[in-house]
Structure 1
Amino acid sequence: MKHTNHTACPCGSGWSLTDCCGRYHAGELASTPEALMRARYSAFVLDLADYLLTTWHPSTRPARLELDAATAWKRLEILESDEKDERGSVHFRATFREGRRWSVLEESSNFVREAGRWLYLDGNPVIRSLKPGRNASCPCASGRKFKVCCGLA
């Protein structure tokens, strides 16, 4: 997928990908745990497994990461973010779709800063199913009704 300077960042910041998470994907260090969380979410959306592994703490990082092409990440909500000294946490919700099924992953992620670089340490993800009604707001946060947005796909 080709991205332009005007492509919206998947993290939902309202900024362009280039000005937001794209700069972290290109090698700039995230300045806060929340910035890293947003960049990691965007990496899931953009299928950037190498970035995810690079920003994962070596003590908890898997040997390899295979992203599921059937998972379409649709929305990120940051519920709370905290940083103190070399530790940080981000509580978030990520809405995704697999085929016609919708779900939400909610996690309080833990981060650690080593040598000036924030790294994802761990978290306790909880996944729950969504069952959007035809006339409900679409879970992708478009502001449209489900039946005329993602409900058509």
Structure 2
Amino acid sequence: MRSRYSAYAVGSGDHLFRTWHPRTRPDDVDPDGRVRWVGLDVIDCVAGGPDDSEGVVEFRAHWVSDDDGPTRRGEVHERSAFVRRAGRWVYLRTE
């Protein structure tokens, strides 16, 4: 989860592509350059340990955008499901 947040923060669509399950990945995964990600709060984790094949992370990701006028702030709050695929964690879907 943290590596995917970091990929959004630095604009690394390549990392997002590699960490998104191919079954649910959209065609365009490049982050919106008008949004600046400014904080991540992990609220809860269910499973996802070294011996697990699935896990869920609840988080809040905070953003700022001032592309067309006054600065706007917001957050994304979701529970994301991850699965282990070929030994690596990949994002599957929002719960």
Shared fold, TM over 0.5: yes
Q: Report the secondary structure of 2:25's partner residue.
A: coil
* AA at the equivalent of 1:87: E
Candidates 40, 65, 76, aligned match of 1:105: 76
User: In structure 2, how many angstroms separate the alpha carbons of the residues matched to 1:39 and 1:65?
Assistant: 15
Which protein has greater RCO, CA pairs closer than 8 Å, 6+ apart?
2
Gap regions ≥5 residues in structure 2: none
When the two chains are superposed, the root-mean-square deviation of aligned CA atoms in Å is: 1.2
1:76 matches 2:40: yes
Q: Report the secondary structure of 1:59's partner residue.
A: coil
Gap regions ≥5 residues in structure 1: 1-36, 125-153
Bigger-Rg structure (1/2) = 1
* AA at the equivalent of 1:117: R
User: In structure 1, how many angstroms separate the alpha carbons of the residues matched to 2:7 and 2:30?
Assistant: 13
TM-score, scaled to structure 1: 0.55
TM-score, scaled to structure 2: 0.86
Structure with a larger share of its residues in strand: 2
Task: State the identity as a percent.
Answer: 41
Residue 66 of structure 1 and its aligned partner are, at CA, apart by 2.9
Structure 1 runs of 4+ aligned residues shifted over 2 Å read: none
